[in-house]
Structure formats: C-alpha cells, structure tokens
C-alpha cells in the first residue's frame, strides 16, 4: 500500500490474528510503534486474543507486556482491551491479576462483568463470582444473554445450601424475558437439573420456541444425573426422530452414564455400537464414559479391554481405569496402572492419587501406601484437601494411626470429612478418649459435625464407664442439636447402648422411633442377640413382619444368629428356607450366617454342604468354617482350611486368626498357637488384637504355664481387658493356683466391681482348694451387694418341645421317669468302674453328699431325658449355658459306650462329640 492509515494497520493486525498468523501480527505492532502510528484498543485487544493461543507462561508474559503498553498509552479506559485481558488472566488461572485489573478499569460494561465472573467461576471461585454478579446489579448494569448464561451456569455448581440463589437468578431471567434466548434457556435447564428441579426444567424445555443440540443434551444429561434412564432414552428418541439435529459426543456421554448399572448395561452396549457407527468412538470422553460404565455395571473385562485398546488417552482415562481397578478389588493392577501413567506426558492430579490410595486400604498394603505418599510429596500436592483426606483414610485403614495423626497435623485445611476419617480410625481401635478429643477440637475450630461424625463416635463406646462419661452426654447433644431426628443417628444409639451393656436403654430408644425402618428393627434384633436374648430377637422379627417391613439380608442374618445363639435348629432351618424363598440364599452374609447357625446347632454336615466353591468363597465363610472346626476340636481340619485359604491367594484377616488361635487353644497346642500369633504381623500384616491375646493366655493357662502367661500379658501390644483376666482366673481354678487366681480376680474387679464371674470363679477356686471359710466370705459379700450367680441350665429340643433343666430340677412332667433313668445310668456306670470326680463339688459336705450333688447337675438330667425320648440310632443333642464339669464330661463319655449312643453337648465355647467312650475335645476343654 503506498499510503497506510492507522485503520489500515489495525485491520491488518486483526486479520493476521484471525488467520492465526500471530508472529506477523506482532511484527506489524512493532512497525506501528517505529512509525509512531497511534495505538488503538481494537488492535491491542486482538493481540491479547492471540496470547490466549500460546502456552501458559508465554501467553501470560505477552499479556502482561500488552497490559503495560496499554497503561503507557493511556488506553485503560478502553473497555474492549480490559475485557480481553480479563479473559486472558482467567484462562491462565491468574485470578488475582484479573481482580486487580478489574479494579483498575475506569469503565466497565456488561461484557467486563461477565469476563470477571467467568474468570472467577472457571477457577473454582463460585461464591466470589456470584458476589460479582450481585455487585453488577447493584451498580445498575443490565444483564445480556451472555451474562445470564454465565451466572446461571455458576449457580448450578454452587453448594446445596446456595440453591436459592439459582432460583433467584431464574426469576430475574424471567423478568428480563431473556429466557427466550436459546443459550440462556440451555443454561437454565442445566442449572435446574443440577439442583434437582426436574419438573421446572421440563416446563422450560417444552416451552422453548427454538432448540439446538445443547438443549437436548441438557435434558439428556439431567435425566441421566437423576437416574431416570427411561426418560433419558425417550428424549434421545425424540431428538433423533426430528431429523434436524444430530447427536454428538456430549449426548453419548450422558446416555452412557445413564447405563452404568447391571440393569441397563445391555442398552449401554447398544449405545457403544451407535458410537462406533457414528464415528464417535475416537472421542476420548466417549471412551472414558464407556470404560466407567462397563466397570460400574460389572463387566470389568470389557472395561479393561476397551481402555487398553484406546489409541489416545487423557488423564481422565487413566484416572477412570485406576478407579475401576480399585472398585473391583484389583489393587495391584491399579498401582501398576499408576506406574504406567507416570511414564506418559500426562501429569497425575488429586483424583489420580485419591483413587490410587484406595488400593492401599489394608495393613498389608501399608508400604504401597507410603510409596504413593512419597509421589504425592514429590509433586507437592499433599496440601490438597482431597489428597489429605485420602491419606488419612489409607493410614487409618492400615492401622498406622501415628502416620494418620501426622498427616492430619500437617494438613493446611480440614473439613468435616478429615475429622470423620480420624474419628473412624480411632473408633476402629476402640480408643474413645482420642475420638472425643477430635470431636472437641473440631467443634472448637468451628467445623460442624454431621450425622457420620455422630454415628462414628457412638460406635467407639464399648464399656459401661465409657457410656457414662461420653455416651450419655453425646445422646443429650444429639437431642439438643436435632441430630436425634436422623435415622442413622437414632439407630446407632440403639447399638451404642447395647454395646455398652445397657439393653434397656436400647429398647427405650427403639420405642421412641416413630417410623421404624428396617435398619431400626435390625439394630434392635442384633442388640438382643448380642445380649443372649435370642428368643426376644426372633419375636422382634415376627413383629417386624407384622409391621409391614420387608426382610433384607441384614435382618435374616441377624435372625439366623438368634437361632445360633439359642441352638434352635428348627427355627434356623425355617429362616434358611425363608431366605431361599425370598431370593436371599445367595447373599454372602446370609450364607455365612446360615453356615454359622448349622455349625452352632451341631449340624456340621449341613454346614459343609453350604460351602461355596473355594475360588469364590467369601472371607467370612472361610472364617466360619475354621471356627466350626475349632468349636468341635478338629484342629487338623481347621489348620488345613487355613493353609488352603492362603494357598489360593486369600489373605487371612483379624477374625481368621481369632478362629485359628481358638482352635490351637481348644487343642492345647500352645507352641503352634504362639507361632501363628507371631506370624500375624510379620507374615500377613494383621495387627494382633485383644481377642488374639486372649487365645494365647487361655492356652497357656490351660496348660498351667502361668509364668509365661503373665510375661505375655506384660508384653501384649494392647491393654489387658476383662476377657484376659477372666481366662487366667478360670485356668487358675483348674490348676488350683491361688496366687494367680487372686491376682486375676483383683484385676477383674478393678475393671468392674460388680462382675459376678470374678466372685464365682474365685469362690470355685477356693472350693477346689478346700478353703471353705473364704468361700463363705465371698458368697456373703455377693449377697450384701445383691449380686447373684447365674444359675446353670441345660436343655434339649425335640420337634416343637424344648425341655429345660436346672440343678436338681423336679418341675418336668416326666420327672419320675427321668430320675429312674438317672438311677439306671448310675448303676450301669458303676458296673464299668465309674468313680465320681468330686473335685468339681463346690460345697463343704461329705463325699457321699458331694456325689449326690454332682448327679443333680442339669446336663445329667437332660441326658437322662434324652436317652428316654430320642430314638435309638439318633444323636442326643444337649445344650448348656455354662461350661460342663469334669464329672459330667466323664459320665457322658461312659454313657456313649455303655448305651451305644452318640451324644453332642454344646457349652458356650465349644462342642463335645461323645462316641464310643471318647470325646472330640480329647479331654482338653
């Protein structure tokens, strides 16, 4: 051009920017300045737009230079260049720069305000963006369609508490009449969908005079989000029927998300085919949605195949696959996938590590968790709240509480989730003192607890003193704050009182619940089962059905536990049949509870018939099987089951070792038991707990190795509780060790001065040592504090009749026949050399009276009645609420050979199977 005006320069620069010739545009700018051509806001605004196409640092540096040039040229009054700079700073995540620039702008219009709101909302500052909208209205700036679209979109992303703001903006749009604009209507539909106002969104959609693909996508997405799958596909069908609009990748992603369940996975496969036919399978977001859908719908092999077949993957692809591996229990594959991601150009983010830490939620995976933690520290994202909470969860689940505490202390910010995770970790360790410290701290710093907080705290209380100190005040707090109205909280209160030994208060809480859910009934049934009130548990089950509640797997499992506690085989079989009828017989909890019921009712053969195949056998079933063998004294079978489980790659857990060590204890295999105890943490990563320690103390005490038992208690990783001292006291009675017995009784009474078992066991110890004055003194003290010994009781059931016997009981309808049979048994046993074992006699009488007292024991009366009524060739099954004495055990062995009968006696701890003059316990019980 022979002659160029300023406008020529401006137009040339703008044209170069539009044609993506940014270097040429900046060369022209330099030419302008060399020729002293005056700068214009139009040209500089075009160049700022060019900066947005460059990488993050170059774009910001260039934008800052133009910003400075604008100041120098006195062009900050130009609203166009100011708005362009706002967009640049917002897209580069420099929110503070955008806010400072906005304050400097002498003139702002609706476009400037919109740019500011967009810069804030796109970087997560939603509340600040909405405040900017309010300031704009206060300054009298009218919204256009673009401004309303922006503010409506951010309202859809606000927290639940701020949904009213979205409705206010909705009303302002209606007043302005701009809802007729397609872009505004689309934003409104999305916002209404996000706040679950489905009917309002439908009204708006069907009143729209003009719709585009985004309008239809907004409806499909809303229905998908709300789980309205049928409506989702109905809208999609209407969209395709018109023929004017074509679906796109966004449409497909919404439809695929709606199919993420086993009920709709076949439809999802059809959508997958549609994507292939329409050429949308090359879009990464579509493939990501498909991987997530197949995984959630249980078709993990398809999800895995699709992911590894993808030609291109983004970070969301990797995150989705890692999360899918974790959800399907393939933890090692999840960590391997993380390793492969680190070898790509994609930078892992907070979602990546949150999912990866989910693969490290067991003590055996602690080292893997620490490795992931190291990566997080290296990438400096440990300050992120989601990552911090995930680390807390990982260390808590790995029982590494000191690491969890350290993470919590180093976190820059905390939310209620952080506190709930730490409280849950302490609750799992039954450390209610630490639980209450966290609860007090969170309230002190202004963090509001939620129902999960309260439920977790309530679950940490196990003893009566904890109930008095913490549980009752917490109950009062739930009433004061209104948490008591929450179903989860009220149901958890039932369990809290039951766990702390106060069943009456559990019942009172249950009765105050007006609308009792299935969970409420289940909690009350479980509370009664826990307290040994199996009959009341079954009665509640009947009441629950009469109240119109449907039974679920939890309820059925609890009722089966009731039958197991009562040793009520007939009711247990009926419940099992009901489970089959209701389609619950394949549920793992029901299968395990039914197995446990058959095992505790003496039907080991039925229990074995129910065993799932080892390849798919749940951990609970392995544990129940080992426990069943242990209860019968079949140590070899229990150990073989444990070894089989480990050989197929299943990791034993806390309960597994309780059952295995119990088997060692019942068999008297102390060295083997100690070997397994020592391997728990070193080999299997399971931290020893109080129940494991009880088993070791029990077997050492049974063998009379009290010095080792005391040393073990001193070195235990957990504080000794009542179970430890009660076991030691019981063993001291067997071996007549007064010194150890007194020590154990003292410790037991320090924990609970009204523990009747401490007085009874110590009294029995004195009796076996012929210290009758001490016996009288203890019994007098028990009377003075209104403490009664639990009476012995034995029973057997035939058809629908339960026959119960106490000591010297003469209340049975067939008393004469029973005592006649008892005399017959006595005479026949004398013929084969029976001599009464009077060491079990607990009263200061002569030998003849001691022997007479022994023949009044409840299990002997039950045995006599069983021999009368149970047909020849059938097993006599007797149940007793207390441990059988040595003389009764001897009599049962002799009867099994003299009368040629099989007898099964179940006490609270194990089964004794008598046959041919021997017992399955090998006389060690």
Query: The pTM is what?
Result: 0.71
Instruction: Kindly report the backbone phi and psi dihedral angles of residue 797, in degrees, each rounded to the nearest multiple of 5, phi listed first.
Output: -120, 135
Residue 633 token pair: 């004294």
Residue 196 token pair: 């679950």
Residue 388 token pair: 């911090």
Cα–Cα distance, 920 to 893 (Å, whole number) = 10
pLDDT above 90 as % of the chain: 36
Hey, which residues does 904 pair with through a beta bridge?
Answer: 877, 913
Helix (H) or strand (E) holding 795: strand 794-798
Instruction: Kindly report the backbone phi and psi dihedral angles of residue 476, in degrees, each rounded to the nearest multiple of 5, phi listed first.
Output: -60, -40
**What pLDDT was estimated at residue 2?**
66
Cα three-residue angle 689-694-698, rounded to 5 degrees:
155
Looking at per-residue pLDDT, the higher value among 694 and 32 belongs to 694
Cα–Cα distance, 352 to 341 (Å, whole number) = 10
Mean pLDDT calculated for residue range 791-815: 86
Cα–Cα distance, 806 to 812 (Å, whole number) = 10
Residue 320: CB partners within 8 Å, gap ≥ 6? 288, 291, 292, 295, 307
Mean pLDDT calculated for residue range 137-143: 89
Tens of pLDDT, residue by residue over 302-318, are 999 999 999 899 999 99
Q: Which residue do the tokens 């009926």 mark? A: 574
Instruction: Kindly report the backbone phi and psi dihedral angles of residue 917, in degrees, each rounded to the nearest multiple of 5, phi listed first.
Output: 90, 10
pLDDT at 162 over 70: no
pLDDT at 34 over 90: no
CA atoms within 13 A on the CB side of 787: 16
pLDDT at 787 over 80: no
Cα–Cα distance, 525 to 561 (Å, whole number) = 10
pLDDT at 474 over 70: yes
Out of 44-58, 91-105, 347-361, 701-715, which region has the weakest mean confidence (pLDDT)? 44-58
Cα–Cα distance, 731 to 743 (Å, whole number) = 12
Give the pairing of strands 903-906 and 876-880.
Answer: parallel
- Collapsing DSSP to helix, strand or coil, 91 comes out as helix
Instruction: Kindly report the backbone phi and psi dihedral angles of residue 911, in degrees, each rounded to the nearest multiple of 5, phi listed first.
Output: -105, 145
pLDDT at 864 over 90: yes
Cα–Cα distance, 81 to 48 (Å, whole number) = 8
Contacts 24+ apart (CB under 8 A), 108-112: 108/79, 108/82, 108/141, 109/79, 109/141, 110/136, 110/141, 110/142, 110/143, 110/144, 110/146, 110/147, 111/79, 111/83, 111/146, 112/79, 112/82, 112/83, 112/86
Mean pLDDT calculated for residue range 803-812: 90
Confidence of residue 417 (pLDDT cuts 50, 70, 90): very high
Cα–Cα distance, 91 to 629 (Å, whole number) = 67
pLDDT above 70 as % of the chain: 94
The residue among 454, 453, 471 whose CA lies nearest residue 462 is: 471
Q: Which residue do the tokens 């160049």 mark? A: 47
Confidence of residue 74 (pLDDT cuts 50, 70, 90): low
Cα–Cα distance, 78 to 73 (Å, whole number) = 11
The residue among 804, 821, 827 whose CA lies nearest residue 881 is: 804
Out of 84-98, 322-336, 413-427, 572-586, which region has the weakest mean confidence (pLDDT)? 84-98
Cβ(632)–Cβ(604) under 8 Å? yes
Hey, which residues does 877 pair with through a beta bridge?
Answer: 904
CA atoms within 13 A on the CB side of 149: 14
**What pLDDT was estimated at residue 12?**
80
**What pLDDT was estimated at residue 865?**
94
Mean pLDDT calculated for residue range 897-913: 88
Confidence of residue 844 (pLDDT cuts 50, 70, 90): very low
**What pLDDT was estimated at residue 554?**
86
Q: Which residue do the tokens 């003192």 mark? A: 433
Hey, which residues does 913 pair with through a beta bridge?
Answer: 904
Tens of pLDDT, residue by residue over 620-677, are 899 999 998 888 888 899 999 999 999 988 889 889 999 999 999 888 889 999 999 9
Give the pairing of strands 794-798 and 876-880.
Answer: antiparallel
**What pLDDT was estimated at residue 194?**
83
Cβ(853)–Cβ(841) under 8 Å? yes
Q: Which range has the top average pLDDT, 270-274, 422-426, 666-670? A: 422-426
Mean per-residue pLDDT of the chain: 86
**What pLDDT was estimated at residue 859?**
93
**What pLDDT was estimated at residue 159?**
60
**What pLDDT was estimated at residue 31?**
76
């Amino acid at each position: 051009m022979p002659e160029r005006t300023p406008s020529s320069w401006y137009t040339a620069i703008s044209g170069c920017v539009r044609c993506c010739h940014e270097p040429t545009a900046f060369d022209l700018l330099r030419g302008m300045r060399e020729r002293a051509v005056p700068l214009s806001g139009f040209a500089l605004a075009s160049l700022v737009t060019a900066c947005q196409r460059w990488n993050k640092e170059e774009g910001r540096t260039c934008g800052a230079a133009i910003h400075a040039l604008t100041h120098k040229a006195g062009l900050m009054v130009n609203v166009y260049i100011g708005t362009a700079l706002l967009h640049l700073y917002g897209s580069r995540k420099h929110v503070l720069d955008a806010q400072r620039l906005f304050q400097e702008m002498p003139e702002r219009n609706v476009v400037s305000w919109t740019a500011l709101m967009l810069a804030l909302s796109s970087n997560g500052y939603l509340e600040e963006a909405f405040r900017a909208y309010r300031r704009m209205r206060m300054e009298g700036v009218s919204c256009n369609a673009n401004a309303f679209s922006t503010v409506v979109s951010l309202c859809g992303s606000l927290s639940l508490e701020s949904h009213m703001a979205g409705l206010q903006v909705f009303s302002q749009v209606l007043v302005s009449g701009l809802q007729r604009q397609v872009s505004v209507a689309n934003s409104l539909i999305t916002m209404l969908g996000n706040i679950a106002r489905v009917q309002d969104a439908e009204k708006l959609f069907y009143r729209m005079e003009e719709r585009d693909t985004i309008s239809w996508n907004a409806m499909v997405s809303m229905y998908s989000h709300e789980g309205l799958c049928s409506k989702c596909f109905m809208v999609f069908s209407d969209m395709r029927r018109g023929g004017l609009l074509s679906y796109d990748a966004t449409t497909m992603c919404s439809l695929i998300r709606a199919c993420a369940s086993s009920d709709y996975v076949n439809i999802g496969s059809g959508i997958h085919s549609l994507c292939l036919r329409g050429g949308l399978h090359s879009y990464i977001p579509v493939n990501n949605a498909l991987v997530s859908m197949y995984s959630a719908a249980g078709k993990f092999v398809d999800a895995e195949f699709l992911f590894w077949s993808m030609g291109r993957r983004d970070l969301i692809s990797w995150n989705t696959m890692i999360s899918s591996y974790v959800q399907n229990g393939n933890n090692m594959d999840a960590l391997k996938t993380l390793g492969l991601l680190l070898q790509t150009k994609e930078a892992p983010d907070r979602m990546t590590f949150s999912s990866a830490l989910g693969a490290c939620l067991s003590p055996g995976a602690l080292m893997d968790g620490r490795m992931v933690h190291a990566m997080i520290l290296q990438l400096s994202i440990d300050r992120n709240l989601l990552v911090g909470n995930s680390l807390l969860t990982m260390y808590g689940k790995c029982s590494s509480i000191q690491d969890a505490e350290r993470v919590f202390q180093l976190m820059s910010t905390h939310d209620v989730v952080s506190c709930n995770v730490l409280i849950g970790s302490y609750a799992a360790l039954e450390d209610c003192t630490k639980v209450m410290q966290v609860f007090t701290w969170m309230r002190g710093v202004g963090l509001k607890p939620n129902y999960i907080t309260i439920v977790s705290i309530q679950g940490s209380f196990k003893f009566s003193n904890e109930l008095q100190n913490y549980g009752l005040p917490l109950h009062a707090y739930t009433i004061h704050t209104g948490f008591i109205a929450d179903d989860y909280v009220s149901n958890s209160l039932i369990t809290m009182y039951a766990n702390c030994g106060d069943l009456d208060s559990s019942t009172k809480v249950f009765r105050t619940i007006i609308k009792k859910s299935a969970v409420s009934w289940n909690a009350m049934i479980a509370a009664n089962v826990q307290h040994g009130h199996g009959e009341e548990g079954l009665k509640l089950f009947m009441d629950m059905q009469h109240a119109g509640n449907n039974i679920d797997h939890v309820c059925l499992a609890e009722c089966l536990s009731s039958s197991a506690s009562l040793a009520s085989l007939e009711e247990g079989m009926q419940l099992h049949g009901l489970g089959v009828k209701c389609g619950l017989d394949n549920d793992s909890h029901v299968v395990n509870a039914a197995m446990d019921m058959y095992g505790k009712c003496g039907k080991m053969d039925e229990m074995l018939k129910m065993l799932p195949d080892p390849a798919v056998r749940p951990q609970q079933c392995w544990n129940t099987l080992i426990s069943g063998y242990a209860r019968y004294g079949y140590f070899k079978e229990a150990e073989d089951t444990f070894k089989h489980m480990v050989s197929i790659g299943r990791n034993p857990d806390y309960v597994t070792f309780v059952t295995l060590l119990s088997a060692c204890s019942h068999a008297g295999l102390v060295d083997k038991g100690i070997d397994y105890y020592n391997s728990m943490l070193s080999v299997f990563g399971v931290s020893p707990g109080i129940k494991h320690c009880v088993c070791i103390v029990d077997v050492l005490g049974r063998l009379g190795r009290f010095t080792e038992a005391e040393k073990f208690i001193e070195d235990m990783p957990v504080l000794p509780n009542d179970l430890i001292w009660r076991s030691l006291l019981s063993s001291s009675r067997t071996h007549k060790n007064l010194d150890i017995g007194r020590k154990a009784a003292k410790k037991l009474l320090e924990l609970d001065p009204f523990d009747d078992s401490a007085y009874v066991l110590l009294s029995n110890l004195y009796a076996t040592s012929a210290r009758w004055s001490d016996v009288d003194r203890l019994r007098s003290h028990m009377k003075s504090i209104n403490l009664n010994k639990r009476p012995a009781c034995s029973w057997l059931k035939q058809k629908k009749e339960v026959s119960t016997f106490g000591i010297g009981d003469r209340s049975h309808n067939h008393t004469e026949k029973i005592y006649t049979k008892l005399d017959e048994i006595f005479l026949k046993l004398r013929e084969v050399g029976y001599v009464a074992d009077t060491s079990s006699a607990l009263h200061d009488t002569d030998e003849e009276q001691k022997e007479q007292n022994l023949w009044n024991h409840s299990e002997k009366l039950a045995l006599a009645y069983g021999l009368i009524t149970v047909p020849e060739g059938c097993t006599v099954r007797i149940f007793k609420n207390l441990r059988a004495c040595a003389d009764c055990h001897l009599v049962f062995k002799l009867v099994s050979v003299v009368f040629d009968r099989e007898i099964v006696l179940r006490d609270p701890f194990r089964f004794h199977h008598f046959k041919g003059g021997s017992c399955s316990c090998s006389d060690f019980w």
